[in-house]
Amino acid sequence: MTAAVKASGLADVVELRIPGKAEWVAVARLAVSAVASRLKFSIEEIEDIRLAVAEACTDSIQHACGQGQIDIWCESVGNALRVRVRREGTADKTAVSDADDEVSGLGIFLVRALMDEVEYSVHPERGTDLTMVKYVGA
Amino acid sequence: MDIKINVRETPGGAYVVELSGEIDVYTSPKVKEAIGELIDRGIYQLVINLEKVRYIDSTGLGVLIGGLKRVREYGGAVNLVCTNPQIKKIFDITGLVKIFGIYDAEDAALKASV
């Protein structure tokens, strides 16, 4: 992970693993909202984080072949929250669901708009990997 | 997490799709189906009321855009009722405020649909 936030000590880390299925995305966004609410984010910032994490999970579902697990790491680092959403396995850029056929790419656009730093990769053999950072009050 | 969908015809003959809950990758196919059924019946002037929607993501936006594209082929329109600041912000960020009529009250959206 190479996101720009530097740890100034031991970070508080919350890990979550959910099935790579649409019905579990709500669990991820609720869990990450709870983590964000432990920090000093405003309600609006927590909403931004919630949507960004959900979009990352949705993207990993839409671009993956077959079933799999989505791993989510939340790290509280100083005045920032860093979230990594990774789904291992074979990624397929053509495997986009019907629901997204009108707006392919809109989800990642939203992540970039709502978060302060974003690193995103889709690899044919390694799956999807997205790390994003939100700073309190930025 | 679920979505409730209530489709009703107004005394003026317009159709309102009232949504309640969260629109995400899991629930958006149900919304797409409801809107698609109306369009298949030849209803091209739609008001979609999002006042009771707490959350919408890109898949939900995709369903709304898809519905709009379909009705526009027949000279129709989709007008939205939206009062939630977070959801309005998403429409702003994505530029969708420029392609949808977005209103604070259902009456105003219905007037715009005439």
Asked if B58 reaches chain A (Cβ–Cβ under 8 Å), the answer is yes
The distance of Cα B102 from the centroid of its chain, to the nearest Å, equals 9
- How many domains does chain A fold into? 1
What is the model's pTM? 0.89
Superfamily of domain B3-113: STAS domain (3.30.750.24)
Tell me the ipTM for this assembly. Answer: 0.91
Measured CA to CA, the distance from residue B108 to residue B98 in angstroms comes to 17
- With respect to residue A5, please indicate whether it lies within any of the assigned structural domains: no
- With respect to residue A3, please indicate whether it lies within any of the assigned structural domains: no
How do residues A15-66 score in pLDDT, each as one tens digit?
999 999 999 999 999 999 999 999 989 999 999 999 999 999 999 998 876 6
- With respect to residue A89, please indicate whether it lies within any of the assigned structural domains: yes
Q: Where do we find the tokens 């959900």?
A: A54
A37: domain CATH number is 3.30.565.10
Asked if B35 reaches chain A (Cβ–Cβ under 8 Å), the answer is no
Find out whether B60 and B24 touch, Cβ atoms under 8 Å. yes
How do residues B2-51 score in pLDDT, each as one tens digit?
899 999 999 888 899 999 999 999 999 999 999 999 999 999 999 999 99
Surface of A (36-55) touching B: CB under 8 A: 44, 47, 50-51, 54-55
Considering CB atoms only, which of A44, A54, A103 is closest to B62? A103
Asked if A23 reaches chain B (Cβ–Cβ under 8 Å), the answer is yes
- Backbone phi and psi for residue A128, each to the nearest 5 degrees, phi listed first: -105, 150
The distance of Cα A115 from the centroid of its chain, to the nearest Å, equals 10
- With respect to residue A4, please indicate whether it lies within any of the assigned structural domains: no
- With respect to residue A100, please indicate whether it lies within any of the assigned structural domains: yes
Domain containing residue A115? 12-135
- With respect to residue A67, please indicate whether it lies within any of the assigned structural domains: yes
- With respect to residue A103, please indicate whether it lies within any of the assigned structural domains: yes
Q: Are B90 and A51 in contact (CB < 8 Å)?
A: yes
